[in-house]
Amino acid sequence: MSRFSLVLLFAPLAACDYSGDWLFANPSEVPGVLDLGTIVPADVAAGQAADAVIYGEVGATGSAETGGVTFAFRGTGGPVCVWVDPELVSWSQSIAIVGGSPGFRYPDNNFDDGDLDLFAGYSVYYTGSPGESVGNFAIQYEDSLGNAVPVTLNECVLASYQTSTGGHFGRGAPEYCTLQATQPGVSYTVLMESFSTPLDDDRLGFGLLLANGTCRALKDSGAGAVPDECVILGEANDISTTVIGEDGSITVGDPIAGSEDFEKSFCGIGDKPLPDFCVEEASLKNCLVETCFCGDPSVSPTADQ
Amino acid sequence: MRFSLFGLAALALPLASVGCGGNHEGFTTTDLHGEVVLPAEAATRVFSDIPDPVVDAALIGPVYLGLYPSVKVGILPYTHPEIGPVFQAGIPGDAYPYGGTSLGDIRFPCIEFLKCKVVSGRYVDFDKMVTWFNDTLEIPIVDAHGDPVVDGDYIAQACYDQLRYVGEEEIRLTATKDKNDDGVLDAKDLDFVQQNDGTWKADFTIYQQEYFENVETGTGFTLWGWMDAPSELNNQFTTCDPNDGYQETEYNLDFYAGRAQRDLLNFPSTYIGAGDFVSSAGFVYGSPDDEATILLDQLVTQ
C-alpha cells in the first residue's frame, strides 16, 4: 500500500478522535467515581473537629469522564457545613529578589497534590448516578423561543477573587460552604468533583467534615482561629495501607508519615516554619529521586537565570 | 504520479475535515447594528433656579440593551422581558438574556467624588463636566483633599497620575473622536445626538452575537432596553456598584472606583426605578440582518 493510500485511510480516523482520553491518567486501583452513602451531620465540639473527620481516597476515571465523590445527608432545619480538604498543600514559589514571600521561598512538590471542587444541593436536582457517574445540579428551563437554558441550583456558594459565586479554591486547598437553613428531612447531595488527582499516583486522599452549624463556627471553634488548611490534618494517606473491600468500599489507613507536620508548618503552627521544614527535608533526602513534601530547593531559579 | 510528503499532508487536512462532517459548528454569529431613540424628555430637566428647562446630553444616563426571548406587559408597571422561574421569595426570576451591550460606560473619572456619577459619551470635555456639576447641578466637585475642582484639566491630570494615562482618548470619558467628520469635537460627537424633532439618537452594535429564534415560527429574539436616569439628588446611577471595580490605593487614596452592576441584564427590575425610561415594545428580530430601531419611550413612574 502506498503512503498516499495510508494517509487517505487514517486521516478521517484522526479527525474524529475527539474523546481526548489519551490525555488522561490510566484508571487506578481505586475507582474514580465513589459514593459514600448517607452521612449524618456531626455535632462538633469546640476544638474537636478532628474527631469528626471522615477520610477517603478517590482515583482517576482513566478517561475524559469527570470523576468525584458523592454523599447524601438529610436536612436538619438548621445550617450544615460541608468541608473537604484534598491532599495535600500547594503554593507558588516566591522567587522575587526583593520583597516576595519569604515563607514560600522554597518550591512545593507539585506532583503530590490534587483538587476537589465542591457542589451541593437538593438530591432531587442532582443529575449524576452515585457511584457510577458524576452529574451536576443543573435543570433545563425552556424559554418562550423554545431554547433550553441550564439553570444551576448548586447551593454551595463559593466566592472567588472575581465573582461572589461560582469560585473554587484550587489545588490542595480546602473547600467549604455552609448550606443555610436546610429543610428538615429533605435529602441533599454533596458532590466533590475531582478537578485533578496527584500526578505521582493518581490516587487522591481527602478529609471530609459534615457538621451541624456554619463553617465559620467550625473554623473559629477551639483555641483561636485555625488556618483553613489545618482544620483537617492527615488527609494525605499512605496508599499502601488503603484497603479496598470486595464491595468496592475504600478504607484508608494511615496518613503519610510526616505529612501532618508538613501541613502544620504550612499553616504556621508547626514546630518549625515552612522554609526550615523544606531545608531539613532536603538535607535528609535527595528530593530529585525520593518523594519529598517540598520540592527540591536546588532546582529553584536564581538571579542568574 | 509522485506525491511529496507536503502534498500528502495538504491533502489529508481537508479529508480530516470531511471525516467529521466539516468544521461548521452550527452557530450563527453576527454583528447586530441599529439605533436607539430617546424621547426629548429623557434629556430634559426643570431646575427651580433656571427659567427654562435644561436640555443636555449630560442628563442621559447609561443605556442598557439586552436580547431576550420576548418582552411582556403586565409583569411589572412597565414593559419588561419575560422572566424564568422564581426559586426564592423576594428574588425576581432571571430574564436569561442572550446577549447585549450598553451605550455609555460607567468608568472611573479619577476623582472619588465623581464615581458612579459619570458615564462616558455624555461630555464633550472635562471643562463641560466641571461646569455641569458645579454650575448647572450645583453639586460642587471636590478633590481628595475636599478642595473644590474648578478646572477640567485637574480631572484629566488626576487620570494621568493615577492611571498612568497620557491622553484623554485613553480615559475614554469625553469626546475624542470626530465621529461626524465635521472637523470639530462637539456635542455631535457624543453617543446620543439630538434630532430635529427633539429626540436623541445613538447607533449601537452588538458584536459577535449568536442568533436565536423559534424554530417553528421563525420569530427571533427581542431587543429591549432602558436608560438609567441620574439621581436628581447626587447624580448617581443605580446601575453602578460603588463598592467594586478598580481599586485606587496610593498615599491617602484608598477607594473603589465603581463599576456597572454584574447582573443588569439578568435582573433589570432590581435597578429600574422612577425617572428611568424603558422600551414599551422592544424590537422583535425576523433575521440576524435586521437593522433594529428601539425607542425607549416609557417613563417609569414608580
Q: pLDDT band for A122, please (50, 70, 90 cuts).
A: very high
A27 vs B80, more confident: B80
pLDDT in tens, B21-59: 444 466 678 999 999 999 999 999 999 888 999 999 999
Q: Which residue, among B239, B294, B243, has the nearest Cα to B61 in the 3D structure?
A: B239
Residues of chain A above pLDDT 70, percent: 88
Residue B4 lies in a domain: no
Long-range contacts of B242-251 (CB under 8 A, 24+ apart): B242/B115, B242/B116, B245/B108, B246/B108, B248/B108, B248/B112, B248/B162, B250/B162
Question: How many domains is chain B partitioned into structurally?
Answer: 1
Query: What are the distances in angstroms from CA B111 to CA A43, B61, B154, B250?
Result: 51, 19, 10, 13
Residue B277 lies in a domain: yes
User: What letter represents residue A47's amino acid?
Assistant: G
Question: Does A257 reach chain B within 8 Å, measured CB to CB?
Answer: no
What is the model's pLDDT at position B300?
97
Mean pLDDT in chain A?
86
Helices (H), chain A: 3-15, 215-220, 259-267, 274-284
Average pLDDT over residues B100-107: 95
What is the model's pLDDT at position B8?
44
Residue B150 lies in a domain: no
Comparing alpha-carbon positions, the chain B residue that sits nearest to A144 is: B69
| A11, A146, A151: residue with CB nearest B84 | A151
- A-chain residues near B17 (CB < 8 A): 15
Average pLDDT over residues A106-129: 94
Mean pLDDT in chain B?
90
Average pLDDT over residues B101-126: 95
Comparing alpha-carbon positions, the chain B residue that sits nearest to A7 is: B12
What is the model's pLDDT at position A303?
47
What is the model's pLDDT at position A96?
80
- B-chain residues near A3 (CB < 8 A): 3, 5, 8
Task: Pick from B2, B4, B20 the residue to mutate for testing the A interface (most A CBs within 10 Å).
Answer: B20
- Residue appearing with cell numbers 420569530: B219
| A15, A145, A149: residue with CB nearest B213 | A145
Count the Cβ atoms, other than its own, within 10 Å of residue A44.
23
Contact yes or no for A149 and B12 at CB 8 A? no
**Does residue B230 contact residue B213 with C-beta atoms inside 8 Å?**
no
Residue B141 lies in a domain: no
Residues of chain B above pLDDT 90, percent: 79
- B-chain residues near A8 (CB < 8 A): 11-12, 15
**Do the bridges between strand A243-244 and strand A67-74 make them parallel or antiparallel, or are there none, so unpaired?**
unpaired
B4 vs B126, more confident: B126
Domain ranges of chain A: 23-255
Classify domain A23-255 at the CATH class level.
mainly beta
pLDDT in tens, A180-233: 989 999 999 999 999 999 998 899 999 999 999 999 888 876 555 788 899 999
**Does residue B240 contact residue B233 with C-beta atoms inside 8 Å?**
no
What is the model's pLDDT at position A244?
87
Q: pLDDT band for B183, please (50, 70, 90 cuts).
A: very high
Comparing alpha-carbon positions, the chain B residue that sits nearest to A18 is: B20
Contact yes or no for A145 and B219 at CB 8 A? yes
Average pLDDT over residues A112-128: 95
Residue B127 lies in a domain: no
What is the model's pLDDT at position B201?
98
What is the model's pLDDT at position A11?
52
Judge whether residue B132 has pLDDT over 90: yes
Average pLDDT over residues A155-177: 82
* A259-267 vs A274-284: helix crossing angle, rounded to 10: 150
What is the model's pLDDT at position A14?
52
Contact yes or no for B214 and A146 at CB 8 A? yes
From the number of C-beta atoms within 10 Å of its C-beta (0-12, 13-18, 19+), residue B14 rates as exposed
pLDDT in tens, B198-227: 999 999 999 999 999 999 999 999 999 999
**Does residue B228 contact residue B62 with C-beta atoms inside 8 Å?**
yes
Q: pLDDT band for A64, please (50, 70, 90 cuts).
A: confident
pLDDT in tens, B155-165: 999 999 988 99
What is the model's pLDDT at position A5?
57
Distance, CA of A192 to CA of A84 (rounded, Å): 8
Any bridge partners for residue A82, and if so which?
A: A177, A210
**Does residue A165 contact residue A158 with C-beta atoms inside 8 Å?**
yes
Q: Which helix (H) or strand (E) holds B152?
A: helix B152-163
Judge whether residue B280 has pLDDT over 60: yes
Q: Calculate the CA dihedral of residues A8, A13, A17, A21 and round it to 10 degrees.
A: -120
A104 vs B276, more confident: B276
pLDDT in tens, A233-273: 999 999 888 888 887 788 888 999 999 999 999 999 989 99
Distance, CA of B152 to CA of B160 (rounded, Å): 13
Residue B243 lies in a domain: yes
pLDDT in tens, A1-18: 455 555 555 555 555 556
Contact yes or no for A11 and B70 at CB 8 A? no
**Domain containing B222: what range?**
23-105+177-299
Instruction: Kindly state the DSSP code that residue B211 receives in the 8-state scheme.
Output: P
Contact yes or no for A12 and B96 at CB 8 A? no
